[in-house]
Amino acid sequence: MLIGGIQEFTTLDFPGKLAVVVFTAGCNFRCGYCHNPQFVDEEQVKNIIADSIPEEAFFKFLEKRKGKLEGVCISGGEPTLHSDLIDFALKIKQTGFLVKLDTNGTKPAVLEKMIAEKVVDFFAMDIKTSLPRYGKIIKTGFSAEDIKKSKEIIQNSGLPYEFRTTAVKGLHTKEVFEEIGEWLKGAEAYFIQNFRNKKVLAEDYAQKEGFSEKELEEFKILMQKYVKNCGIRM
């Protein structure tokens, strides 16, 4: 696995669990507001390839955290782009940890295989916007059908999951959230994450601001008509 970074401790990224986050390098989206640009930008990824964290070192770290941490969140970048993801997740499971996968939903076949091989315990899928508006955000080619299928696979997997949207002024409005709500109708959990401009992929987003708490609360109230549980992450 091409490991670009590790967050050694988190209480937020794996709901209900004390966990470590491992960031894989490389992504097939180019969302301008991405807060992990070092794992997306091609030049920065080249540097990571040259100086990546050895997988052996990561698993030595995990061995030392047995009994202290419960799970591993595999994030990115986009983890499902890596051909060794399933083997990597299996090794984590065999080490005694639960696995959470963060994904953009572009590789439904990988999600199906992870479920079938029982190497994942929790899914988090980014919902960039309503499906017809995806092209305005991701700036690359994509299959709407794949994203739609991934959403269905996760929602019907029998595993705990969440969908989440980073709310950005100029991209997300009440109308957009109504469209997202219709798409995600009946989902167990959905989170609205406020945009932060401290670290972004595209320079023009560095000048943008996040929404106020009041505005986010209005979006939350709107989404509660469609999903079972809705929360805000500032």
Question: CATH number for the domain including 45?
Answer: 3.20.20.70
- So what's the pLDDT on residue 5? 86
In a domain, 230, yes or no: no
Query: pLDDT tens-digit profile of 1-49?
Result: 888 888 999 998 999 999 999 999 889 888 888 888 777 766 666 566 6
Provide the number of structural domains found in the chain. 1
Structure tokens belonging to residue 74: 């595999």
Mean pLDDT of the chain: 91
Report residue 183's pLDDT band, with 50, 70 and 90 as the boundaries: very high
β strands within the chain, DSSP E: 3-10, 19-24, 71-75, 98-103, 122-126, 161-167, 189-194, 229-233
In a domain, 24, yes or no: yes
Region 180-191 average pLDDT: 97
Query: pLDDT tens-digit profile of 204-219?
Result: 888 888 899 999 999 9
The Cα–Cα gap between 17 and 100 comes to 10
In a domain, 212, yes or no: no
In a domain, 97, yes or no: yes
Region 154-175 average pLDDT: 96
In a domain, 168, yes or no: no
**Residue-range definition of the domain harbouring residue 97:** 3-162+197-206
Find the radius of gyration of the CA atoms of the chain: 17
The yes-or-no verdict on residue 50 having pLDDT over 60 is: no
Of 185, 34, 183, which is closest to residue 102 (Cα–Cα)? Answer: 34
In a domain, 181, yes or no: no
The yes-or-no verdict on residue 178 having pLDDT over 70 is: yes
Report residue 201's pLDDT band, with 50, 70 and 90 as the boundaries: confident
Percent of the chain scored above 70 by pLDDT?
A: 95
The Cα–Cα gap between 123 and 159 comes to 8
In a domain, 93, yes or no: yes
Query: pLDDT tens-digit profile of 115-163?
Result: 999 999 999 999 999 999 998 898 888 899 999 999 999 999 999 999 9
In a domain, 227, yes or no: no
Query: pLDDT tens-digit profile of 51-63?
Result: 678 899 999 999 9
